[in-house]
Copies of this chain bind each other. A is one copy, B any other.
Amino acid sequence: MTMTQDADGPRPAPTLEMVAALAGVSRATVSRVVNGSPKVDSELAQAVRKAIQALDYTPNRAARSLAKRRANAVTLIVPEATSKVFADPFFATIVQGIALHLADTDYTLNMVISSESKPEKTRSFLLGGNVDGVLVVSHHSGDHSWTHLSGSLPMVFAGRPFVGGNESYFVEVDNEEAACNATRRLVSSGRQHLATIAGPQDMPPGIDRLAGWRTAVREAGLPDGLVEFGDFTLASGAQAMQRLLDRNVPIDAVFAANDQMAAGAYTAIQGRGLRIPQDIAVVGFDDDSFATSVTPPLTTVHHPITELGKKMAETLVNLIEGRPAERVTRLPTTLVVRDST
């Protein structure tokens, strides 16, 4: 009785050795063509490629990593705290950008959500030579508990770290400038009583967007006291807007530090029978799905989040491969004007 390949369990993947045999060359040669070495006879190369096709051969990553002392993998760290607050699409979108870029390289993306309870596990995973670089997306506060690793491993952050901003690699948009421009538009369209719903002041985006609003308001010679704070959630935006309205002072425009809070502001404004934009103009920040879902469609700052993720990945790969890389890359934003202003 002969062994036939039954459907019992996946048969082992073809190895480089098998390819070599089929092509009638040495393993070294196969390895060379697989890795695109220029110095290999083109006839042999053809033969090898044919064999690879025939066998549907894929190099074994583990063996490869072992031999090259390089994992060809990068890790995305998401602090557990951050991972719990995914009301906004920031995370998913940035991950998408990262994965999209990495798909064109031969780096693999692995994800860990780092529990603050036992960070050593994550730490030793990272330092155990299993990873060539690290991406940190902690939309949340300044908990960059990973900054210290940047001495041992290439790291790139999403957004300026709350601390250590002068040593770390990161990619962001110019939040202050973008907020300033958005606010200027409000001014130049004739609004006189500008308010803002600011984000948390322990997060760089919260800080910078408020600063941008202030700059624009002051340069217009207007008072800058109409500030209420939210935490980037829809509900907090609604509440902040209520507080603003409760002050009983004239308000004819409001800049919200993100679209979710802007959407919240909508409910508060419209709930009081006021009209957007006739009574109050609203501009947001992010240009996420809220911006178009809401009525009237929201004028907002386009935040290129996917690009941000791509750029993070690109920077990290450059770092890993010893190519020059920008320490801080700042992506451009644009104001997209819709019907709320």
- Name A residues whose Cβ lies closer than 8 Å to a Cβ of B: 7, 10, 12-13, 56, 58-63, 65-66, 69, 71, 73, 76, 78, 83-84, 86-87, 89, 91-93, 95-96, 99-100, 103, 108-113, 115, 121, 124-125, 127-130, 151-153, 233-235, 238, 264, 267, 271, 288-290, 292-295
Contact = CB atoms under 8 A, between A and B. Distances in A.
Contacts of A267: 294-295
A128 B96 contact: no
Given A66-B60, A233-B293, A293-B234, A113 B100 contact: yes
A111 B127 contact: no
A120 to B, nearest CB: 9
A56 B112 contact: no
B10 A153 contact: yes
19 contacts: A10-B127, A10-B152, A10-B153, A58-B125, A58-B130, A59-B128, A60-B66, A60-B129, A61-B128, A61-B130, A62-B129, A84-B96, A86-B96, A89-B89, A103-B113, A108-B125, A110-B110, A233-B289, A235-B292
A271 B270 CA distance: 9
A293 B127 contact: no
Given A7-B151, A62-B66, A66-B62, A129 B99 contact: no
Contacts of A73: 110
B86 A92 contact: yes
Nearest to A234: B293
Nearest to A60: B129
A221 to B, nearest CB: 36
Contacts of A7: 151
B103 A93 contact: no
Nearest to A61: B130
A111 B111 contact: yes
Contact of A111 (B12, B84, B99): B99
A129 B12 contact: yes
A242 to B, nearest CB: 11
Contact of A83 (B13, B92, B290): B92
Contacts of A59: 128
Contacts of A109: 110-112
B124 A58 contact: yes
Contacts of A83: 92, 96, 99
A63 B87 CA distance: 40
Contacts of A110: 73, 108-111
